[in-house]
Amino acid sequence: MNIDSSHILSITTFVYMAAAILYISYWVFKAKRLGIVATTVTIIGFLMQTFALGYRWYESYKLGYGHAPLSNLYESLVFFAWVTIAVYLVIEWRTKSRIIGAFATPFATFAIAYASFNPSVDSQIEPLVPALQSNWLLAHVITCFLGYASFAVACGLAIMYLIKSKSPNPEEGVTGALPSLKMLDDLMHQTIIFGFLWLSVGIITGSIWANRAWGSYWSWDPKETWSLITWFIYATALHARFVKGWRGKRIAILSIIGFCSVIFTYFGVNYLLAGLHSYAAPQ
């Protein structure tokens, strides 16, 4: 029986799903062992996915293509899930708060599940289209997705903040198990800064790549335009924080709006708007 990378990634989907359920159960039932198991399962899934991505790159070489697994919708969804888990695990390690996993791991689970089980998403390894045959591919995709993954985690933190802040008894029951509002606010802010910096680098590298591929740094392609809109939303959030002193609920709402813009930039443009990035659309 031949096992390829897509099979391993399909199995990883269920591992992440189990981890998300364990984190949610840990939050609801406050059982320390569930939290430890959730972290262990997440790390196992992350290592499996890391191996699968490396193996998929090897498969590409065997087919004579030799490109990194970052070239189509399937691979980008898988990579988004991988980076989201990586960002989350760093935050868990820094904060020692496993409950954040109940709101972060579902994003990765949904992404890899959509890639693995949606029949419209082709998992086959194909040769690169001419527009992608550039050394800027890795730089652009990695930096953009570091930004996207950070915004996903920031969105999860924002949801946690709003749940806790709207509770009549925020220090009791399931809301009492959540980190303090100050901690959530600080983490949300730090994660947005991290994501904003990487998205900025991603837009810059994309512009350089566009000039190499199409002879223009900026073409107002729908994905370019929506990337800029997303950038301005997070720039507004940071400006409001630094200059106006906004904190808490207002920043949380902007974080959620920003991630909705990320989702539209990533999915909506591919489905609804034709442009230079149409090669990333589902088949």
Please give the Cα distance from 161 to 157 (Å, whole number): 6
pLDDT confidence of residue 63? 87
CA distance 220 to 161: 35
**For the chain, how far is it from start to end, CA to CA, in angstroms?**
27
Is the sign of the CA dihedral 41, 145, 269, 76 positive or negative? negative
Tokens for 282, please give them: 């589902």
Q: What are the φ/ψ torsions at residue 86 (nearest 5 degrees)?
A: -60, -45
Domains and CATH numbers, the chain: 1-128 (1.20.120), 134-283 (no CATH)
Distance of CA 107 to the CA centre of its chain: 7
- Residue 4, phi then psi, degrees to nearest 5: -105, 180
32-67 per-position pLDDT tens digit? 999 999 999 999 999 999 999 999 999 999 988 888
pLDDT of residue 266: 84
Rounded to an integer, what distance in angstroms lies between the CA atom of residue 249 and that of residue 236? Answer: 15
Q: Tokens 């998300």 belong to which residue?
A: 20
CB 20 within 8 A of CB 102: yes
For the record, the structure tokens of 89 come out as 């695990």
Express each pLDDT in 119-146 by its tens digit. 888 889 888 877 677 778 888 889 999 9
